[in-house]
Amino acid sequence: MIVITGATGNIGKKITERLLSRGKKVRAIARHADRLKELEGKGAEAFVGSVEDAAAMTEAFMGAEAVFTMIPPNYAAKDFRRYQNQVSQALAEAIEKSSVKHVVNLSSLGAHRPDKLGPINGLYDHEQRLNKLKGVNILHLRPTYFMENQLMNIGLIKKMGINGTPLKEDLRFPMIATQDVAAEAAERLAKRDFQGSSVKELLGQRDLTMAEATKIFGAAINKPDLKYVQFPYEDAEKAMTGMGLSPDIARLFIEMNRGFNEGMAKPTQGRNPQTTTPTSIEEFAKKFAEIYKSSNN
């Protein structure tokens, strides 16, 4: 049995489906039963529970050969770092009490740092907590910036005719498609070929700038003149709260963007065949275009 937290999320669902397609027994965890019905139909065992509930997670992890852990986003949290630590503590307690021996943990590029990277620093805390568990083999996957983050800008592109974030226009950094993160996680969960506490960075197919990515997206949606604009931190923070994010998480996201701009989130393992993943930005742009065309924003 392999247990997946966040099983209805962008990455967790892909992991679950990949494992099921390989004939693996999978227990899928989500907070709401109705969201698990699709995965149940594909053969998963559904478990309804909150990752903040240590007792529920202990029950969910019982009998598992391996567990995929993550801290799901909670954009309404008034104190996001406190929320992260609550989830982290619950997961660590559940792993210990259920005697799970293999854990693949979703972390992030930059999680080697304890400061200056906003929500990523909560993943540093989580890694450190899991590393203290005795007799558990833990692999921390540290993917870079998700290509899917740009899907949130479809409304902006349609309304304003521009693409923009607080990231510098000429900042060159790696970007990854979530399907590649899921593929790596599923492979490691199935093979359980890691020992002790280890880290693997996932750096996408290549490094590129937001200006380059925007040009590729523009071509895919028949807007070849689409421009990228770097938003001032203050304006971006106001926009986030206007979209419903709590003031605390908006502040942390700005800190993260500032950290990226100032080089705080550079890879520690470097680009090599092990850290490079297959999906290019051009391939992802096809998916971006499909969602753009079908969006009502």
Q: 278 with 178: CB under 8 angstroms? A: no
Is residue 166 within 8 Å of residue 125, measured between CB atoms?
Answer: no
pLDDT digits (tens, 9 = 90+) for 93-130: 999 999 999 999 999 999 999 999 999 999 999 999 99
Q: How far is CA 21 from CA 18, 43, 90, 159, in A?
A: 5, 9, 30, 40
Give residue-wise pLDDT tens across range 172-209: 999 999 999 999 999 999 999 999 999 999 999 999 99
Q: How far apart are CA 158 and CA 85, in angstroms?
A: 38
Q: What distance, in Å, lies between the first and last C-alpha atoms of the chain?
A: 41
pLDDT in tens, 128-141: 999 999 999 999 99
Question: Would you give per-residue pLDDT tens digits along the chain (297 residues)?
Answer: 999 999 999 999 999 999 999 999 999 999 999 999 999 999 999 999 999 999 999 999 999 999 999 999 999 899 999 999 999 999 999 999 999 999 999 999 999 999 999 999 999 999 999 999 999 999 999 999 999 999 999 999 999 999 999 999 999 999 999 999 999 999 999 999 999 999 999 999 999 999 999 999 999 999 999 999 999 999 999 999 998 999 999 999 999 999 999 999 999 999 999 999 999 999 999 999 999 999 875
Superfamily of domain 2-146+177-202: NAD(P)-binding Rossmann-like Domain (3.40.50.720)
Paired strand residues for 200: 141
pLDDT computed for residue 297 by the predictor: 58
pLDDT of residue 84: 97
The domain spans of the chain are 2-146+177-202
Q: Residue 69 belongs to what H/E stretch?
A: strand 66-69
Residues 80 and 114: their CA atoms lie apart, in Å, by: 15
* Rounded alpha-carbon distances, angstroms, from residue 225 to 154, 157, 160, 211: 15, 12, 13, 11
Checking DSSP bridges between strand 45-48 and strand 2-4, what pairing results, if any? unpaired
Say how far apart CA 61 and CA 27 lie, in whole Å: 9
